[in-house]
Chains A and B, each alone.
Chain A
Amino acid sequence: MAPTSKLSLGIKKASRSHAYHRRGLWAIKAKHGGAFPKAEKPAAVADAKFYPADDVKPRKPSTRKPKPTKLRSSITPGTVLILLAGRFMGKRVVFLKQLKSGLLLVTGPFKINGVPIRRVNQTYVIATSTKVDTSCVNVEKFDDSYFARDKKKKAKKTEGELFETEKEATKDLPVFKKDDQKAVDAELIKAIEAVPDLKSYLGARFSLRDGDKPHEMVF
């Protein structure tokens, strides 16, 4: 209902009975059997036993979700990449796909340059303009959990075994990983051999020589 208008501060234009009639309070009362409906009082809150000394805002967990890593436009499936650091630095490898974590999935292929199916960070890679046809390769099964480290089982050791268990840790690659490597590389190598010189190109390592200026190079 519209508020009662005021003539001045504290002085209403309409009289009490006039306002009562205008607001229709008589109709509300009639609807509820003669009495004005009273709102239920909320249950009395028990006195808190503990009042913290300072008013501290409870910390809210962050709802920020990191964005997926943007793939450089120069990197497409089949691009030959040069690894810049790590065990295989200088090697030219074939890019397969970007994993959900943002890392790039690459393979040597293993037979050509010894680089297995591996993950690599985009910033440690130079994309060349050379491309290999990877349409025949199926990389659906590879994701970050494929590369997760095996959790070591903590076996209870007795005194005698304490000295023996150190030799138990075997670092052989599980057979299914070797098979995956062969499966991915089989088709790739055929595509690579179709292009003249590409196989020896992938087998050779990149290196800077005297007089080389990377800022002027076109990769």
Chain B
Amino acid sequence: MVKGRTGQRVRLYVRGTILGYKRSKSNQYETTSLVQIEGVNTKEDVAWYCGKRMAYIYKAKTKSSGTHYRCIWGKVTRPHGNSGVVRAKFKSNLPPESMGRKVRVFMYPSSI
């Protein structure tokens, strides 16, 4: 997390929303989460984001490493469907509380 940065705050990530887990009607597979990235609406657009790292950031009551913020890192793995939704795998599975919450999709590893 930002360590008390003064001055300009820049956003170098794209916002995403966690939609839930990969699932069928009555079974869900928590190792893969589905993420809706802002501004991405087609399967072809997702190609740019494949492999990009993402972070799910949340707050906890106790301090760890000097801050109340904690993070689960993951990456975009592949598109999900035709409309720009993305599958993502995280270092540890996302908790169910994350559904509907934001995730940061960074622009690295970059290949531009």
Contacts and interface: CB of A to CB of B under 8 A. Distances in A.
Interface stretch (B11-19, B20-28, B61-69, B92-100): B11-19
Interface in B80-112: 106-112
B108 A123 contact: yes
A213 B48 CA distance: 11
B49 interface: yes
A122 B111 CA distance: 8
A206 B12 contact: yes
A205 interface: yes
Interface in B45-80: 45, 47-49
Interface residues of B, number: 19
Given A84-B106, A84-B107, A219 B112 contact: yes
Nearest to B5: A87
Contacts of B107: 84, 126, 214
B10 A74 contact: no
Interface of A: 72, 74, 84-85, 89-90, 122-127, 205-209, 211-216, 219
A4 B8 CA distance: 94
A215 B40 contact: yes
Nearest to A89: B12
A213 B8 contact: no
A55 B111 CA distance: 48
Contact of B49 (A89, A125, A205, A215): A215
Contacts of A84: 12, 106-108, 110
- Ranked nearest first, the 3 interchain pairs of A and B with the lowest CB-CB distance are A215-B48, A90-B10, A123-B109
A213 B40 contact: yes
A219 B110 CA distance: 12
A72 to B, nearest CB: 7
Contacts of A126: 107, 110, 112
A207 B112 contact: no
Question: Which of A90, A208, A209, A211 is most buried by chain B, counting CB atoms within 10 A of its CB?
Answer: A208
